[in-house]
Copies of this chain bind each other. A is one copy, B any other.
Amino acid sequence: MPPFDATFAALSDATRRGVLEQLGREGASITQLAEKFHMTLTGMKKHVVVLERAGLVTTEKVGRVRTCKLGLRRLEEEAAWIEAYRRLWDARFNALDNVVEELKRREKVDE
């Protein structure tokens, strides 16, 4: 339901960002991820669950091994939010310049 909350929260952990980067290279089992990030199986499982709930990862269990790969979420809305924010930020900080511009314009009028 609240996409941003879950996604940004998922991205706020270095291990989880690492897992995403890893899965971008190739799929991996929970065991492989746990080893790569020096963590217990159970610990890694929790991270994977968080990533799954955020739509960033999907998993499938075949036999006794669960394979993880990137999920459908492509961070489009998140990228869009950040871009919108950056435009807002630019406008806000350019406002300072705008004051200067405005003063210059008035000077000219006064001439």
- Check: A30 CB closer than 8 A to any chain B CB: no
Is A92 in contact with chain B by the CB < 8 A criterion?
A: yes
B9–A4 touching, CB < 8 Å: no
Copies of this chain, complex-wide, total 2
A-side residues, CB < 8 A to B, are: 2, 4-9, 11-14, 17, 20-21, 23-25, 69-70, 74-76, 78-79, 81-83, 85-86, 88-93
Given A6-B12, A70-B89, A79-B82, 10 other A-B contacts at CB below 8 A?
Answer: A4-B12, A5-B12, A5-B13, A5-B14, A9-B12, A21-B85, A24-B85, A69-B92, A70-B92, A75-B85
CA distance A82 to B21 in the complex (A): 11
